[in-house]
Amino acid sequence: MDKQQEELAALYVLDLLSGAEKADFEKQLEQSTELQQLVREFGHGLHSPLKEASGPRRPDLLEGIHEKIGINEQKPQAAPVATSPVPWRYIWGVAAVFMLMLNLILVVVLSNQAAVRGGELLPETNPDMQASLESRISTLERELNTRTSAMNEIASAHKVVLKENAEIKEDLTEWQQEYMEMSSKVLPFFDSRDGMSRFTVIELVDARPDTGDASSQAYMDLAGYFLTGQEAKPLLDARMAASGNNSVEPAVGTSKPMGFTIWREEDRKGFLDIYNLPELSRGEDYFLWVRSSRSEPFLPIGHLPELHNGDGSIFYSVNNEDFDRPREILITAERAAQPGSPSANRFLVGP
């Protein structure tokens, strides 16, 4: 290939040829595969950096292109619509049929040659793109499976949480029922204070929210104390001291002897909690008595064990099959080991 052809090829690729010069060169190009190859390679050399460069992604602009070409446009403008009189349509029709048949024949003839056909190019000659698409589809499928799996796990976890919530609710209901049963068994055995008995305290706590004030806290502490038998007095003393509010002094915060009992029906045992019993004279012990009704005599239960500063908690049972449940309780000071009846030295009686 001579220098002049190389020069023309270079100018052609750089779009520097025009008019007759360009037309002449294209004629040469049409006839020379060598020149075609050179032009192609010049084009690659000049444009390949551009092909490799990436730019901003603007898929939204495609819609404007569609609008400009017309969404229903079926034919390129290069094929203008014929405006000939009617007879020309028949002529064009015949020509079209003829060209179609000619094309079919050419297709059959050329099918055995190695020519590359446009319709076959994409699937057969672009395996990289196809592989890339398949890889992308596989990735998306894997991602979908992962997300589906995660959703299933979340659904399972949700079911477990719902089940646990139901169990907690059931436990709570059982606890509330148990609480109510225990509350009904609390037997106050001392005189009410300002019109409020221990039952009243529990009902108040159960019926109204904790307001945070000292009296409310005191009632709650009392309720908890009733049910658990835990030592509440130090806590109450500290709380009342901190609040400086002595207007509602809880019973257990006073120095007056007091106590309560809870009867456990299932094992026929009673729980007794007492406070502020004074020290007894030497040789005397506190003795517990109970009875089912006021019409009956007190039944002797036994001596109370050693108390701590007048406070103590004990369990007791009644060895009498006819005994229903304690409805009145009495604590006396006795010298005898097995007193037959309560002495007059009474410290607590109730309710």
Partner 1 sequence: MSKVVQFSREDTLVATLIERMASSDVAALDTLYHLYHGTFLRLFSSILKDDFEAEEVLQDMFVKLYREAWRYDPKMGAPFSWVVTIGKRMAIDRLRRREKRPQLIGDQMEQDGELADNDMDHAENPVHQSAELDWIRESLRGLPDSQREAIELAYFQGFTQQEIADHLGKPLGTIKSELRRGMIQLRKDYLEGNHG
Please give the residue ranges that form the binding site for partner 1 (CB under 8 A): 3, 6-7, 9-16, 18, 26, 29-30, 33, 36-59, 61-62, 64-66, 68-69, 73-79, 106, 110, 115-119, 121-122, 125-129
Give the 3-state secondary structure of residue 301.
strand
Q: At closest approach, how far in Å is the CB of 102 from partner 1?
A: 12
Residue 20 burial by Cβ neighbours in a 10 Å radius (0-12, 13-18, 19+): exposed
DSSP assignment of 151-189 equals HHHHHHHHHHHHHHHHHHHHHHHHHHHHHHHHHHHEEE-
Looking at beta carbons only, is 56 or 209 nearer to partner 1?
A: 56
Q: At closest approach, how far in Å is the CB of 70 from partner 1?
A: 10
Block residue for tokens 């294209």: 26
Residue 101, token pair as written in the block: 């048949």
Residue 178, token pair as written in the block: 């148990």
CA distances to 27, 111, 305 from 118, in Å: 24, 12, 108
Q: At closest approach, how far in Å is the CB of 161 from partner 1?
A: 46
Q: At closest approach, how far in Å is the CB of 33 from partner 1?
A: 8
Q: At closest approach, how far in Å is the CB of 134 from partner 1?
A: 16
Looking at beta carbons only, is 55 or 244 nearer to partner 1?
A: 55
Looking at beta carbons only, is 49 or 340 nearer to partner 1?
A: 49
Which of 260, 216, 258 shows the shortest CA–CA distance to 236?
Answer: 216
Backbone angles phi, psi at 186, to 5 degrees: -70, 125
Q: At closest approach, how far in Å is the CB of 103 from partner 1?
A: 9
Backbone angles phi, psi at 112, to 5 degrees: -90, -5
Looking at beta carbons only, is 121 or 157 nearer to partner 1?
A: 121
| Cβ within 8 Å of residue 304, ≥6 positions away | 274, 285, 286, 287, 288, 312, 314, 331
Looking at beta carbons only, is 43 or 302 nearer to partner 1?
A: 43
Q: At closest approach, how far in Å is the CB of 17 from partner 1?
A: 9
**Segment holding 289, helix H or strand E:** strand 285-291
Looking at beta carbons only, is 123 or 305 nearer to partner 1?
A: 123
Q: In what order do the strands lie in the sheet with 285-291?
A: 299-303, 285-291, 328-334, 346-350
Q: At closest approach, how far in Å is the CB of 95 from partner 1?
A: 18
Residue 288 one-letter amino acid:
L
Do residues 305 and 314 touch, judged by C-beta distance below 8 A? yes
Looking at beta carbons only, is 39 or 218 nearer to partner 1?
A: 39
Looking at beta carbons only, is 30 or 267 nearer to partner 1?
A: 30
